[in-house]
Amino acid sequence: MAKKFLYFIAICIVLFLVGRIGYEMFQDELAELAFVPSSEFTPTEPMEANAYQDPAMWYSRPGIGVNDPARWQPAYAEANQDAAAEQVAVSAEAASIALQADRRPMPPVPDYAVFFVHPTSYLSRDNWNAPIGEGEAERIARLYVRGMASPFNSASEIWAPRYRQATMGSFLTDAPEAEQAIDAAYADVVEAYRYFLSSVDDETPIVLAGHSQGSLHLLRLLREEVKDTPVADRLVGAYVIGWPISVEHDVPSLGFAACATAAQTGCILSWSSFAEPADPSRVIKTYANSIGFDGEKRGTSKILCTNPITGTFGGAADESANLGTLVPDDAMSTGELVRGAVPARCDDRGLLLIGDPPELGSYVLPGNNYHVYDVPLFWANTQADVNRRARAWAAAR
């Protein structure tokens, strides 16, 4: 009996190893099988004229009130509350000393408007583009807006549109249908952006923010709708997070520089987070084979890495300077801020390394890729960053 049991254990181990090896060898094929639609691309009908006048076409916009997910303000964890209060007191004392020295009042956060594009929440193989109102995609998108747009909740206005996003499988294949789906999604985003722009006062500075697929659309928006227009002068910053941007092959074509300092305005911020030991080989391979905005392969060119703790290009920062990581609950529906949870260091490739893997949930991707958590990892620093740049923009006018 004992011998049979050992045989059974051995067989299980062999099957596990074979399965693991098979997964490592064919994970791209398995992902494509699981997520890429097998149907032909069906062109989406253009949005009706003024479709985005309908409040139902927005997850966030002025007038939604307490149900606006982007207006959520997480609290600090109980263990962090005393430390947070102490930090506030120290900061207030330092500010008071500075104000007494120059006799100038601390400027309030000025009005600014945010246009936020959420990442991919549609995982189905049924369609290349998500139908508006698809239940599970809508639920996940609202969670993304709650966790990723809320750092911008000091803004006077936050606008986050629904759009017929490209399905997850569009980013796992080179099929022409994938590019068509991404183009169709962008067509919705640009319509939403134009309505946003028409609704915001002409003198109000703007912030563009997004993650993953949302950032991909924002990069195109910067090139085609913002660059060399009067709106460019109103840009506080573009938070194009979770999408690799080549410093050499992309940034010069965008018309806006990478943010070099913490108070620079009209510039671009981006980062992609990995815990250590990091294995970004899949991301790097895809990036290297992709074509930059200048028409050249991105190859081994450096990826734009903003350190979200310091707000500067590159460099390192200790976890003690992290003002608050948003740690979600198991359902990803709420969470609390924890100070000093993770450090941040831009490596030579342009990836953001965050030290030992933090316990944030079950959505960490292979290779210690914390893509889903790019914004929550630095929730409070992102909030401080955008408010600082908004003050700098107003002070320069």
**Predicted local confidence at residue 260, as pLDDT:** 98
Q: Is residue 14 part of a domain?
A: no
Q: What range does the domain containing 127 cover?
A: 31-92+111-395
The token pair at 16 is: 């596990």
Spatial separation of the C-alpha atoms in residues 88 and 71, rounded to whole Å: 22
Q: Which residue has better confidence, 209 or 330?
A: 209
Q: Is residue 26 part of a domain?
A: no
Q: How many CB atoms lie within 10 A of CB 159?
A: 26
Q: Is residue 9 part of a domain?
A: no
pLDDT in tens, 275-296: 999 999 999 999 999 999 999 9
Asked if residue 215 lies in contact with residue 358, where contact means CB atoms within 8 angstroms, the answer is no
Q: Is residue 353 part of a domain?
A: yes
Q: Is residue 327 part of a domain?
A: yes
Q: Which residue has better confidence, 188 or 34?
A: 188
Asked if residue 256 lies in contact with residue 227, where contact means CB atoms within 8 angstroms, the answer is yes
Question: Is the pTM higher than 0.75?
Answer: yes
Q: Is residue 22 part of a domain?
A: no
Tokens 């691309």 label which residue?
A: 41
Residue 84 has pLDDT above 60, yes or no: no
Mapped onto helix, strand or coil, the DSSP state of residue 273 is strand
Q: Is residue 301 part of a domain?
A: yes
- Domain count for the chain, please give it: 1
**Predicted local confidence at residue 329, as pLDDT:** 87
* Residue of 112, 95, 191 lying closest to 158 (CA atoms): 112
pLDDT more than 90, % of the chain: 78
Q: Work out the pLDDT band at 83, boundaries 50, 70, 90.
A: low
Q: Work out the pLDDT band at 15, boundaries 50, 70, 90.
A: very low
